[in-house]
Amino acid sequence: MSAVVSPIREPLITGGKSYHDITEDICSPTEKTPNLAWVIAFIISVAFLGLFVFTVLWTVWYGIGTWNLNRTIGWGWDITNFVWWIGIGHAGTLISAILLLFRQKWRTGVNRAAEAMTIFAVICAGQFPLIHMGRIWLAFFIFPYPNTRGPLWPNFNSPLLWDVFAISTYFTVSLLFWYTGLVPDLATLRDRSKGLRRKIYNFFSFGWTGAAKHWQRFESLSLVLAGLATPLVLSVHTIVSFDFATSVIPGWHTTIFPPYFVAGAIFSGFAMVQTLMIITRKVLNLQDYITLQHIESMNKVILLTGMIVGTAYLTELFVAWYSGYIYEQYAFYNRVFGPYYWAYIGMMSCNVLSPQIFWFKKMRRSVVVTFLMSIFVNIGMWFERFVIIGTTLARDYLPSSWSYYVPTWVEIGIFLGTLGLFFTLYLIFTRVAPVVAVAEVKSILKSSGDQYTGPNAHQQAAVQKEKAAE
């Protein structure tokens, strides 16, 4: 740490790394035998994945009646989890795409893992619209495929159909974006490996040689995909929010939902990135690449989006009161004071109150606080979706049909199971691909005007000093 450190701009990578160090640091976890922590984590994750498979099979075999949904509450944990996962799946693409367009260089430290998280979260989210169907074996009905049933197409008016398109597009673009970024790094891994590993990486790196032309195409494609992905970040959750906003149910039927959902998604996505990155940087020793500055920057985003979300909550309450519309008023009164009041309290305290701690720089830069907060926000955002879905459906227009809902073990199992799916995928990812974008991180090792800070930097500096003295 001998380089000249600007008091204003902290270096994005600390530890006086050379380019080679970067390669070594980031690639080595994929090359060594996994440590005990990884093995334990993997066993637990796979166990939960097994639970997922079991509970899903149980549901499909016996029917949705194995859940506690009922004639009043048609969606519960299933769609809550769906929206929650989709929300989590926002940070990756936001970091990659929007921050790329805004030329936020610090993104390079976290974008790879965040994008991977996005993809895995979308995979988890995508399970629920399928599982929650009463007849999953007919799920293909939702695709506009040519059929022999006469001109029978899906209902293009249905927000659920929009979901299908929005999510599949988002997933595709995110996957492409992620993979594009992976190609140079996979080539690096290929170059470092032998035998079968080499063959595999050779295949997946698409013959990358690092030629200038490749870089030029890489940059162009990244930019194009960033341009495509940016509106998608906004559109996916907007469309998910349409599931609710276009309905007639008081508490769902609100125009505020699209921006509110997007803000909430970024909020929860960043929280999940924090959760994962704090563990990853520690376990894989990447503190120099994912620095406190990253954590602080993301905490700032969390603070901002948390307040947007909080504003939305208050706006909803205000609009309900101001509308003079009895059903809307009751729906929100019920949210706060009704039988699900605890969910509302959970949502408010985790999402609106607790992030306020990030007004303090010390807190923003505290790893422990950040980790706890990221968990809080994840819980709070889950509660938010539950409040919107469960509480609203439990009491709508006709008091005769009001109901209450608690999940069965199957529903809880499926949720825990998707966590297993997510972490299994993530843990595999940490073993097979660099969790930090090696090539991109190298690009920010030196800022403009930086001195070389690699090996023998002292010597050189001494030589320079001597020369200067002469």
Partner 1 sequence: MEQKKNNQKDIWIGTDQLSNDPAYQEISNREFTELPVTDQLTEGKALDTSSNRRDFLKYLGFGLGAATIASSCDIPVKKAIPYVVKPDEIVPGVASYYASSFVRGGDYCPVLVKTREGRPIKVEGNSLSSLTRGGTSARAQASVLSLYDTSRITGPFRIVDGRIDKPRRGMGPGWNEIDEEITGQLNSNAQIRILGNTNMSPTTDKAIADFTAQFPNTQVVMYDPVSSSALLQANEQSFGQFAVPDYHFDKARVIVSFDADFLGTWISPVEYAADYIRNRKIKDISKAEMSRHYQVENHMSLTGSNADNRILVKPSEQGAAIVALYNAIAAERGGQRVSGPSLPDTAAGKIQRMARDLLDNVGNSLVVSGSNNVGEQVLVNAINAMLDNYGRTLDFTHASQQRRGNDQDLQALIREMNNGGVDAIFIMDGANPAYDIPNADEFRSGMEQVGLKVTFTGDPNETLALCDYVTPTHHYLESWGDVMPKKGHYSLIQPTITPLFRTRQSEESLLRWAGSDQLNKEAEQPYLEYLKAHWESAIFPQQNQFATFRSFWDSTLHDGIFEMTQPEVTEYAFGGDVAQAARQVRQPSGAELEISFPESVQMGGGQYANNPWLQEMPDPINRCVWGNYLAIPVGWDGGNNFTSFKSLNQREARGEADVVEVDIIGRVQPATCVRQFGQMHGTLSLALGYGRENTGQMGRALGERVGVSVYPWLSIDENGNTQYYATVSSVSEKVDTDSMFACVQYHHTMGVKGVDPETGDTINVDEKASMAIAEGYQGGITERSIIFKANLKEVQDLAHHIEEHREEAAHLNDATLYPYEEYKEKYYSQGHHWGMHVDLNACIGCGACQVACVAENNVPIVGKDEVARHHEMTWLRIDRYFYGDYENPNVVYQPMMCQHCDNAPCENVCPVNAVNHSSEGLNQMIYNRCIGTRYCANNCPYKVRRFNWLDYTTADMFPANEYTVNDEELPFGADNLTRMVLNPDVTVRSRGVMEKCTFCVQRLQEGKLTAKRESRRLRDEDVKTACQTACPTGAIVFGDFNNQDGPLNEMLIDNPLNYLVLEEINTQTAVNYSAKINNRDEELDA
Residue ranges that bind partner 1, judged by CB under 8 A: 61-66, 68-72, 74-75, 129, 132-136, 138-139, 141-142, 152-155, 157-161, 164, 191, 207, 209, 211-213, 243, 246-249, 326-327, 329-330, 333-334, 336-341, 393, 395-404, 406
Shortest Cβ 172–partner 1 spacing (Å): 20
SS3 sequence of 204-240: HCCCCCCCHHHHHHHHHHHHHHHHHHHHHHHHHHHHH
Other C-beta atoms closer than 10 Å to the C-beta of 126 total: 20
Q: How far apart are CA 121 and CA 89, in angstroms?
A: 5
- Residue 13 or 236 having the CB closest to partner 1: 236
CB of 50 to partner 1, least distance (A): 21
Residue given tokens 């939305």 in the structure block: 312
Shortest Å distance, C-beta 139 to partner 1: 6
The token pair at 405 is: 């809902």
Q: Which is nearer to partner 1, 74 or 455 (CB)?
A: 74
What is the distance between the alpha carbons of residues 18 and 154, in angstroms, rounded to a whole number?
A: 56
Closest approach of partner 1 to the CB of residue 229, in Å:
25
Q: How far is the CB of 320 from partner 1 (least distance, A)?
A: 11
**Closest to partner 1 by CB, 19 or 153:** 153
- 253 close to 241: Cβ distance less than 8 angstroms: no
Q: Give the shortest CB-71-to-partner 1 separation in angstroms.
A: 5
Distances 365 to 58, 95, 209, 295 between C-alpha atoms, Å: 45, 19, 39, 7
Query: Look-up: residue for tokens 């969790």?
Result: 435
Of 162 and 376, CB closest to partner 1: 162
Do residues 434 and 289 lie in contact, with contact meaning Cβ atoms separated by under 8 Å? Answer: no
339, 390 in Cβ contact below 8 A? no
Judged by beta carbon, residue 56 or residue 233, the one nearer partner 1 is 56
Nearest residue to 432 (alpha-carbon basis) of 92, 205, 171: 205
Of 133 and 278, nearer to partner 1 (C-beta) is: 133
69 and 76 Cβ atoms separated by less than 8 Å: yes
Select 243 or 384, whichever has its Cβ closest to partner 1: 243
Positive or negative, the Cα torsion across 78, 82, 83, 88?
positive
Residue 170 CB, shortest distance to partner 1, in Å, is: 17
